[in-house]
Structure 1
Amino acid sequence: MRRSTRPSRQPSSRRRTAVLASATALLSLGVLVPTAPAQAAPPGPVVVRVVDGDTIEVRGTGRVVPAGDVVRVRLLEIDTPERGECYFREATARTRELLPPGSTLRTETDVRLKDRNDRYLLYVWNEQGVFVNESLVRSGHARSVLFEPDDKYWKTMTAAEAAARQAGAGLWSACPTS
C-alpha cells in the first residue's frame, strides 16, 4: 500500500493548541476583541398610501412608529395645497412619485413627535435618499411653513422655497395667488 505524499489538510493538535494559545493571549491583552455578528439596522416605516401632498400613511417597524401600527405622518416644515385648491392634484401626484406605496422610508423627528390631530411629525427620505420634504418645496409642489418649535431644517426649506419662487416652479407660476 502506498502512502500519500500530500500534506494533511487538518492541523495537528500541536498547531491547534498554539493557535488557541495565541488567540487567548491577544484577547487578554485587548488586541483581539470578539465582536457580535454585524446586524443591519431595522428598516424604516413602509408607505401604505399618500393621503395628500404633505400627509402619508405608514406601517411602523418599531423605531419611531410602533411595529405593525398604521399611522398618519405629516411632513414637517411644508404645506401643500388642500383638496379643491390650485395645484392640489400635482402636489399629491408628486408625493406619490417620491413615496410610492410599499416603499421604505428613513425618518427623522424634531421637537414634537405628534400634532394635535395625533399625526406623527417627521422629516422623510425615500429609498433613493431624497429628502422628500425639501424636494417638494424646491420643485414648487409645497410651501415652506414653520410650526415652532419644529425648525431643524428651516434654513434648508426657506432656501428651497426662494429657489422655487425665483424659478417660477410649480405652484409659484401655476397659481395666481401663490
Structure 2
Amino acid sequence: MHPSSWTAPHRRAGAGAVVASLAAAVGLVGLAPPAAAQPEPVKQRGPVVLRVIDGDTVEVRGDGRVVPAGAVARIRLLEIDAPERGDCFSREATARTAELLPVGSRLRTERDVELKDRYDRYLLYVWNERNVFVNESLVRSGHATSVLFEPNDKYAKTMAAAQAAARQAGAGLWSACPAR
C-alpha cells in the first residue's frame, strides 16, 4: 500500500499500536522493585567527627585518606589558635567549633608540609559538610586568631585577611577579651 493511499483509520491504527506498546512498557516499569528504580545514595567520605575537644582540636575516626581508616585521631586545625580552656572566650570558641563540626559529621581535610605535631595530632585544614573552610571561619568570626607555625603556611594570607576583618569588626574575642 502506498503511503499516499493511507486513510485516517490506518493512521489511527498505527498510533494505537504505538500507544499499546508504550502502555506495555510502562506496565513493565511499574513491576520493577522500588529499590531498582532509585539510585543508591552516594556515601560521603572523609573522617567522622567523634568529639570537639576545644576550639581548634577535634577527635575523628579516619577514612583512610589522610587519617588511617578506622583510626581514632586528633586533628589540630592549622594556622589558628583558639583560647584554651579557662581563658577568655574559650567556651564560645569550643561551642562554635561544635556548631561547624557536629559529632557524626564528615570532614574534608587538606594537609600542608608537616602532617603531625609533637603531640601526634594531625595538622590539617578542614572543611565541613557544607563546604565551609572551618579554620578560616573561626578566625573570621573572632573565635580564634591566626597563627603561623612554619612550614605550614598554605593559607597564611587567607588567615591574615580573616583576622584583620575580625579585629576591625570587633568580632568575638576581639571585643570580649580586653587583653587582645
How far residue 75 of structure 1 moved from its aligned partner, in angstroms, is: 0.1
Identity of aligned residues (%): 77
CA distance in 2, matches of 1:167, 1:147: 25
Give the match for residue 159 of structure 1.
Answer: 161
Q: 1:177 aligns with which of 153, 176, 179?
A: 179
Secondary structure at the residue paired with 1:63?
coil
| Residues 1:80 and 2:77 are matched in the alignment | no
Task: State TM-score, norm by structure 1.
Answer: 0.77
CA distance in 2, matches of 1:110, 1:125: 14
Q: Normalized per residue, which structure has more helix? A: 2
Q: Which runs of 5+ in 1 are unaligned?
A: 10-39
Q: State the aligned residue count.
A: 143
Task: State TM-score, norm by structure 2.
Answer: 0.76
Residue type at the aligned position of 1:51: I
Q: Is the alpha carbon distance of 1:154 and 1:78 closer, same or farther for their aligned partners in structure 2, counting shifts above 3 Å?
A: same
Secondary structure at the residue paired with 1:111?
strand
Superposed, 1:42-53 pairs within 5 Å as 43-53=45-55
How far residue 95 of structure 1 moved from its aligned partner, in angstroms, is: 0.0
**Is the CA contact (8 Å cut-off) linking 2:166 and 2:174 kept in structure 1?**
yes
Q: 2:71 aligns with which of 69, 84, 88?
A: 69
Q: 2:57 aligns with which of 10, 33, 55?
A: 55
**Over alpha carbons, which structure has the higher Rg?**
2
CA distance in 2, matches of 1:126, 1:50: 13
Give the match for residue 95 of structure 1.
Answer: 97
Give the match for residue 143 of structure 1.
Answer: 145
Q: Which runs of 5+ in 2 are unaligned?
A: 1-13, 22-41
Residue type at the aligned position of 1:148: E
CA distance in 2, matches of 1:172, 1:72: 27
**Is the CA contact (8 Å cut-off) linking 1:42 and 1:61 kept in structure 2?**
no
Runs of 4+ in structure 1 deviating by more than 3 angstroms, as ranges, are: none
Deviations 1:69-91 (A, max 9, x none): 00000000000000110000000
